[in-house]
Copies of this chain bind each other. A is one copy, B any other.
Amino acid sequence: MKSIKVKCWIETNGDKLYGPGPHELLRNIKAEGSLSKAAEKMQLSYRKAWDIVQQLNKHSEEPLVILRKGGKTGGGAEVTIHAQEVMEAYNKLQKKLQEVTKEEKQLLKILN
């Protein structure tokens, strides 16, 4: 019925840089090899997905996503090793936070 949710993200100068949305997008890009397919998979407009990628690459010294256009496949999207490190670290952090909320049942009890 009632449940505790937790969410974490990284901000830079007050605007959101990396969070659940970008994280899912990176996972999808890795799985699909295509930005448009990745966006579709999570019911996100291509435009928005593209914006997210620009934001990510803009605020990281090394690029997180490499986009290519043309070629025999028409183009594609690739998640860099660097990005995969970010994803893994984010996963770990999320897991830690989840564990804290699992221990904490008091709030739910009080609200009944």
The interface of chain A, by Cβ under 8 A from chain B, is 1-13, 17-18, 59-62, 82, 85-86, 89-90, 92-93, 96-97, 100-101, 104, 106-108, 110-112
Contacts and interface: CB of A to CB of B under 8 A. Distances in A.
Contacts of A12: 1-3
Nearest to A60: B111
A110 B100 CA distance: 24
Given A8-B4, A10-B4, A101 B93 contact: yes
Give this chain's copy count. Answer: 2
Given A2-B12, A89-B107, 14 more contacts: A1-B12, A3-B11, A5-B8, A6-B7, A6-B97, A10-B107, A10-B108, A60-B111, A86-B107, A86-B110, A93-B100, A93-B107, A97-B101, A100-B100
